[in-house]
Amino acid sequence: EEWTTMLADKEEEERLWTLAYVDALTGCYNRHLAGQVLEKYSAASKDYCLCFVDLDHLKTANDKFGHQEGDRVIRFVASILKENINGIVGRNGGDEFLFCLAAVDSKTTIENEIRTVFEKLQEGLINLETGERMSIPCSIGIFAENGSQLHYSYMVQGADAAMYQAKELGKNTYYLNYN
């Protein structure tokens, strides 16, 4: 009986942890946990870059096809990021994600990984209502300081600014700020 009580307590603890730290829609880390993990990572590593992804026209898709389809798009983006990123992926909220690329040693390495993700998002997914393939337009901002160990908040500001730079370039592109 004591064993089953301990097991039930452990399951409840895991359930509460998941509710507190995992985004229910995507299964990614939520903003809070992603921030904590990335902050610890940035304190220990120099060889990573921080990236923000913002879906460019999700409101239009929600208005045209409904929020269920919009949720499907968000889940699709999360799956592409989780499958193709060698690092931490979190949902920043709404239609924004943040992630880090780990073990990046050059601008070329970063661009190759980002290009892969970007191309898979452009391939898109099948719209269940129309049967058409929907490209997922997005703006990706990447911030990296070669060989520097920088505070997480500085990296976040840099990635956010890079994402807005991608939007200013006309959206549906990526912008790498690599120093």
Given this model, what pLDDT does residue 134 score?
87
**On the CB side of 26, how many CA atoms lie within 13 Å of its CA?**
29
Given this model, what pLDDT does residue 1 score?
65
Given this model, what pLDDT does residue 147 score?
63
Given this model, what pLDDT does residue 13 score?
83
CA distance 169 to 85: 24
Check if the beta carbon of residue 39 is closer than 8 Å to that of residue 152.
yes
Q: Which two tokens stand for residue 5?
A: 């009580």
Given this model, what pLDDT does residue 36 score?
87
Given this model, what pLDDT does residue 170 score?
95
Q: Which two tokens stand for residue 51?
A: 């990236």
State the angle between helix axes of 58-65 and 67-84 in degrees (0 to 180), rounded to the nearest 10: 140
CA distance 102 to 114: 12
H or E stretch covering 44: helix 31-44
- Residue 136 CB contacts under 8 Å (≥ 6 apart), including other chains: 55, 73, 76, 77, 121, 122, 124, 125
Given this model, what pLDDT does residue 149 score?
64
- Residue 54 CB contacts under 8 Å (≥ 6 apart), including other chains: 95, 96, 138, 139, 140, 163, 167
Compute the Cα dihedral for 31, 112, 43, 139 and give only its sign.
negative
Given the structure tokens 């191309």, which residue do they identify? 119
Check if the beta carbon of residue 76 is closer than 8 Å to that of residue 84.
no
Average pLDDT per 10 consecutive residues for the chain, totaling 179 residues: 71 78 92 85 76 91 84 95 90 92 84 93 88 92 78 88 96 92
- The radius of gyration of the chain from alpha carbons, rounded to an integer in Å, stands at 18
